[in-house]
Amino acid sequence: MLTAPHAAAPIGVFDSGVGGLSVLRALRAQLPQEDFVYLSDAAHAPYGERTDDYVNARAAGVANYLVAQHGVKALVVACNTATAAAIQLLRARWPTLPIVGIEPALKPAATASQTKRVGVMATRSTLQSAKFKTLLESLQGQAQFVVQACDGLAAAIENDDAQMTQALCETYVRGLGDFGRQPGAIDQLVLGCTHYPLVSGLLQSLVGPTVDLVEAGAPVSLQTQRVLAQAELLFCERAAGTTQLLSTGAVDALGGNARRWLGLEVLVEGVQTDGMS
């Protein structure tokens, strides 16, 4: 049973794998005094080419684990795919728990675009979701959005397969068309999957220096801070909080990426969330 959340409890963050570390990085910068428990559901990654039922079951199982085993005071769904499929279900199941999701940052990209042509890379499941379609419709007339489903890319990043990552990025960037500041070109590229910021150097080299890569880690962190403040759950009583890393799959992949992207030296704990939903 969920007891009333209290400020000293950790914030739970989850993704299908290592991608959510790009969000955790922003969260730790924005909320340095908070404790975080990050769960990578690597044993069931990737989510992006699965059915909604599968993603819903995984999201519910992982969220239940974080609530039951770690007593989290809030949940950040650091996965566009899981947010699109499951956030309503999670909010219905834990109505008093603050839950923050992530979605492709189309609006900031449309606002910043000078050519008014915006590229969007995301998983197939995110792009097919009702949530994404509603977002796209709400921005009709503000810019032209060119979308690209990036099958296999999150998995290649997850598996640290540099060759496959390079090949897929080249293919998908080419598929989006011309990039640059000239009329008719894409000048903003939305990274609509939390795995993609982990290869932003590669993507930037492919689209050129004049194109902005747009990710949502920072806005999600600000939103988390706002939601916690509203619920009077912000914790401000120490210099620095802790971060715990859990994985349902390979612990080495998560540990290596946490070291690389967050400068974090912590032991990753292997966990089992099956049967927790």
Footprint on this chain of ligand DGL (rule: CB under 6 A): 15-16, 19, 45-48, 79-81, 123, 126, 154, 193-195
Which CB, 98 or 217, lies closer to ligand DGL? 217
Q: Is 150 one of the catalytic residues?
A: no
Are 188 and 118 spatial neighbours (Cβ–Cβ below 8 Å)?
A: yes
Residue 74 and residue 89: Cα distance in Å, rounded?
Answer: 15
Are 158 and 46 spatial neighbours (Cβ–Cβ below 8 Å)?
A: yes
Which CB, 90 or 193, lies closer to ligand DGL? 193
Which CB, 34 or 103, lies closer to ligand DGL? 103
Least CB distance to ligand DGL at residue 256 (A)? 17
DSSP helix/strand/coil, 247: strand
Which CB, 233 or 246, lies closer to ligand DGL? 246
Least CB distance to ligand DGL at residue 55 (A)? 9
Residue 10 and residue 66: Cα distance in Å, rounded?
Answer: 10
* Residue number closest to ligand DGL, CB atom: 48
Residue 11 and residue 183: Cα distance in Å, rounded?
Answer: 44
Which CB, 36 or 47, lies closer to ligand DGL? 47
Least CB distance to ligand DGL at residue 80 (A)? 4
Residue 274 and residue 272: Cα distance in Å, rounded?
Answer: 6
Q: Is 169 one of the catalytic residues?
A: no
Per-residue exposure over 124-159, b if at least 16 CB sit within 10 Å of its own CB, e if not: bbbbebebbeebeeeeeeebebebbbbebbbbbbbb
Least CB distance to ligand DGL at residue 255 (A)? 18
Least CB distance to ligand DGL at residue 163 (A)? 19
Catalytic residue among 150, 169, 193, 236: 193
Would residue 264 be called left, alpha or beta, if left means φ above 0 and alpha means ψ between -120 and 50 degrees? beta
- Active-site residues: which are they? 79, 193
